[in-house]
Amino acid sequence: MRCAIYLRVSTNKEEQKSSLENQRDLFYRYIGDKGWDVHEFYVDVETGTTDKRASLQRLIRDAKQRKFDVILAKELSRLARNGKLSYEIRDIALTNGIHIITLDNAVNTMEGRSENFGLYAWLYEQESQRTSERIKSSFASKARRGEFKGSIPPYGYDVTDGVLRVRDDDSPSIVKRIFEMYLQGTGFDAIARTLTREGYPTPRSDGWEE
C-alpha cells in the first residue's frame, strides 16, 4: 500500500518543529507494523481553517492521479476543519479508490469505519469556529485596553508590558520620512533605494535592523 501522509502544524515555532518530527515517527511506526510504503509526506505549517494550503492542494491533485492508495492523517481535523473541504477530500478519495485512515480510529474506510465521517467533520468545523471567535474576542479586548495584538512590533516601536511604545532612536523619524515621501508621490522602490543609499538599515521580519 502506497501511503500519502498528511501533517500539519499551526506555526513554524521551534516547538512545532519537534511536533512534526514526533508525528513522522508515529506514522513510520504505524506503516512499518503493516508493511506499507511511504509515498510522500505532505506537510503544511500554517493555519488549518483554510483550504489553500499548498501541500494539501498537491495531495488532492496527486489523489486525482491515483499516485497512492491511502491517505493517512493523525485525525480528520488535520486534513480539514470545515465541512466543505472534508467532503471534497472524501469524495475525491472514493472516486479514485483511495482509502482514508486517521490514527485516532475515527475514520478508517479500509475497515468500513466511515459512517461517522460527517459527524466528525461537523464537530471539527464547530470547534474551529469557536476557536476563531475566542481569538477575535481576545484581540478585541486587548485593543480596548490599548494592548498590542501582534508578536512583532511595527518598525519604530517597541512593546513594553503589552503596550506599543515609540522607540528611543532615530527609527520613528525614518517612519515619518517614509510617509512624507509617499505622500509626495515617491514609489515604494524609490523610497527603499533612497534610504538604502543613505545608509539606513533594512528592517528585519522581527522588527529590528540588519
Tell me if 98 sits within 8 A of 68, measured CB to CB.
yes
Q: Is this prediction's pTM over 0.85?
A: no
Give the residue ranges of DSSP H helices in the chain. 14-34, 54-64, 76-79, 83-95, 117-144, 171-183, 188-197
pLDDT at 64: 94
pLDDT at 115: 60
| Segment among 60-74, 128-142, 189-203 with least mean pLDDT | 128-142
Grid cell digits, residue 172:
520613528
Q: Which residue has the higher pLDDT, 150 or 200?
A: 200
Examine the pLDDT at 92 and tell me if it is beyond 80. Answer: yes
pLDDT at 70: 94
> Around Cβ 151, how many Cβ atoms within 10 Å?
9
Nearest to 98 by CA among 209, 210, 4, 24: 4
Task: Tell me the mean pLDDT in the region 187-208.
Answer: 76
| Segment among 121-125, 148-152, 174-178 with least mean pLDDT | 121-125
> Around Cβ 156, how many Cβ atoms within 10 Å?
19
Residues 6 or more apart from 187 whose CB is under 8 A from it? none
Task: Tell me the mean pLDDT in the region 99-109.
Answer: 86
Calculate the average pLDDT of the chain. 79
Q: Which residue has the higher pLDDT, 150 or 160?
A: 160
Task: Tell me the mean pLDDT in the region 98-124.
Answer: 72
Nearest to 74 by CA among 2, 9, 1: 9
Whose cell is 515621501? That residue is: 181
Residue 75 is classified by DSSP as S
